[in-house]
Amino acid sequence: MKIGFIGLGIMGKPMAKNLVKAGYSLMVNNLTPEPVAELVACGAEAATQKEIGQSCDIVMTMVPNSPQVKEIMLGEEGVGEQMKPGSIFIDMSSINPVASKEIAAELGKRGIEMLDAPVSGGEPKAIDGTLSFMVGGKQEIFDQCKPILEKMGASVTRCGDVGAGNTTKLANQIIVACNIQALAEALTLTQKAGVEPQLVFDAIKGGLAGSTVMNAKAPMMIAGNDKPGFKIDLHIKDLNNALDCAHTVGAPVPMTAEVMEILQWMHTHEGGQKDHSAIAQYYEYLTGIQIGR
């Protein structure tokens, strides 16, 4: 079996490396050459998108948003035109579920199966292969591809038909964003009240308020570390998709809209490439204090 992997960014590069480590024959492609060279050094093969479509049984994408996935798969001389009937496309990008369904429908006309399989966990879990996959698609295609996804993730769950994976991811991103905002507010309150944020974190992380988000992001806020594991601009993209989907189906999402405004403020104040935990800097701007410092 030969696998094609398109998109070697913060998440895609370590994910692809884990497939190579697992022994899969991998062809890789990226807009910039440096990650490709790094994967080739690990044992992968550099290829054009056309070559990937012609040669691979499974094609995977890990790119920013719906337009990029559509261009790669459905564009003029796109990968989808090169793939053989019976081959499988797995999109691990986080995009609008409506777009996932549109892409699957077009590929289906050519006899190509699709899974939408966005991930959660950020760069650290991409590196150590413990991502969570939320998958949409036919049960038999999911069963066939699950062992491959398990080389990159500790949790691989089918959530329904195509589009269900990205719907689940939108729910995930709403919860993560609102958690980070609440954490930033809480640590700002403690510091303004004269209580050390690190001690607050130590005291509550094992209780009901504790979460994976808190464990990952509180230390970053306290240290002033905004190196991106997941960029604010990417979370803006996800919440835009969440708001669009919510408006389409008539779901109320007022908390999502509020945290989106804070992320947009960060974007316009040169924070778009920072980690989403840098939401704390919005509160630092309002209060004049720095959490933990």
Q: Which two tokens stand for residue 234?
A: 């990417």
Is-contact 24 1, C-beta < 8 A?
yes
- Which tens digits make up the pLDDT trace of 23-40? 999 999 999 999 999 999
Instruction: Assess whether the region 2-162 and the region 167-287 belong to the same CATH fold.
Output: no
CA distance 193 to 72: 52
Nearest partner of 60 among 102, 2, 108, 101, judged by Cα: 2
What is the mean predicted confidence (pLDDT) over 109-138? 96
- Which tens digits make up the pLDDT trace of 71-106? 999 998 889 999 999 999 999 999 999 999 999 999
Any catalytic annotation for residue 109?
no
First CA to last CA distance, the chain: 53
CA distance 61 to 67: 12
pLDDT for position 44: 98
> What are the sequence ranges of the domains in the chain?
2-162, 167-287
- Which tens digits make up the pLDDT trace of 174-227? 999 999 999 999 999 999 999 999 999 999 999 999 999 999 999 999 999 999
- The catalytic residue among 125, 169, 237, 274 is 169
Q: Domain 2-162 has what CATH class? A: alpha beta
- Nearest 5°: phi and psi at 256? -60, -45
Share of the chain above pLDDT 70, in %: 100
CATH architecture for segment(s) 167-287 = Orthogonal Bundle (1.10)
What does 109-138 look like in DSSP terms, one character per residue?
Answer: TTT-EEEE--EESHHHHHHHT-EEEEEES-
Contacts 24+ apart (CB under 8 A), 41-47: 42/17, 44/5, 44/16, 44/20, 47/4
Length of the chain: 293
- Give the C-alpha distances (Å, rounded to integers) separating 238 from 11, 143, 173, 230: 15, 27, 7, 11
Is-contact 206 200, C-beta < 8 A?
no
Q: Which two tokens stand for residue 60?
A: 């995977």
- Which tens digits make up the pLDDT trace of 245-281? 999 899 999 999 999 999 999 999 999 999 999 999 9
- Give the C-alpha distances (Å, rounded to integers) separating 49 from 81, 82, 133, 174, 195: 11, 9, 24, 33, 55
Q: Given the DSSP bridges, would you call strands 119-120 and 131-136 parallel, antiparallel or unpaired?
A: antiparallel
